[in-house]
Amino acid sequence: MPDLLTQALAFDGLAWVILAAFVAGIVRGFSGFGTALIYLPIAAQFMPPIWAIVTLASMDLLGPAPNIPAAVRNGHPRDLMRLLCGAAVMLPVGLWVLGRTDPEVFRYGVSVLALVMLAILLTGVRYRGRVTRTMVYGLGGAGGFLGGAVGLPGPPVILFYMASPHGAGVIRANTMAFLFFFDLMLVALLAVLGRLETLPFVGGLALTVPAMAGNLLGAWLFHPRYEKIYRSVAYLLIALAALSGLPFVHS
């Protein structure tokens, strides 16, 4: 196992990836979101696209696991199943696109999507229409496709599902459970397809340490009185991570 871990972490830019996991954890700890938006643009600069996605998935499995039983109980199980069914249909399509995407295109795509998501968060744009059962399947499908293609399953679910008739607690529980089960689904499907490499999976598990340390630090730093400041810091860090992955930064 030590040899396997050494191989998994033997790549250029390891320090930057560890820092990205740690900072993403801090932001997640005091804002509740942002892990993929910070981690992926940086990780994609130093590892193949599939490695970036697998390390993120395995890194995100252990941290939320203790909270998932409560999330399932407090959520809306039927909607959760609709989201996951939609994701299950479109995840293979997203992985097919990922397998045919140039690493540089992937890196730029992740950065652009992170900036788009940031712009939406900053402007406060929200879907105000009615979310039907059919739309929930579609949101899960959109999340599954984006999760497979660029490792970002959350944005469509978060931005549109917030308009569902459920209360904030139910929406938060379903979103948390969806992202967790999506990661399990992704890892399982890659294993079935023979595309799950051991090294990035083990590397992601190792990155759980700095990610959880950052999460604990972020939660310790958080104070409700300064929520707007924390959110502004989170937005700034997301912007810096996303911009670092664009070509003009390295020209």
Structural domains counted in the chain: 1
What does each of the 251 residues of the chain score in pLDDT, given as a tens digit? 566 667 656 677 888 999 999 998 888 777 667 788 999 999 999 999 999 999 999 998 887 777 788 888 888 899 999 999 999 999 999 999 999 999 999 999 999 999 998 898 888 777 777 778 899 999 999 999 999 999 999 888 888 877 777 877 787 788 888 988 999 999 999 999 998 988 889 888 999 999 888 888 887 887 778 778 878 888 899 999 999 988 765 55
* DSSP state, residue 167: -
Q: Is-contact 28 151, C-beta < 8 A?
A: no
| R_g (Cα) of the chain, nearest Å | 17
Type of residue at 49: P
Structure token digits, residue 53: 């996605």
* Domain extent at residue 214: 2-250
Count CB neighbours of 218 within 10 A. 24
Type of residue at 102: D
Instruction: Report d(CA 191, CA 198) in Å as an integer.
Output: 10
Instruction: Report d(CA 72, CA 88) in Å as an integer.
Output: 18
Q: Left if phi > 0, otherwise alpha if psi is -120 to 50, otherwise beta: which for 194? A: left
Structure token digits, residue 77: 């199980």
Backbone angles phi, psi at 2, to 5 degrees: -60, -40
**Torsion (CA) 72, 152, 238, 177 in degrees, nearest 10:** 0
Model-wide pTM > 0.75: yes
Instruction: Report d(CA 10, CA 21) in Å as an integer.
Output: 16
Residue for token pair 């050494």: 6
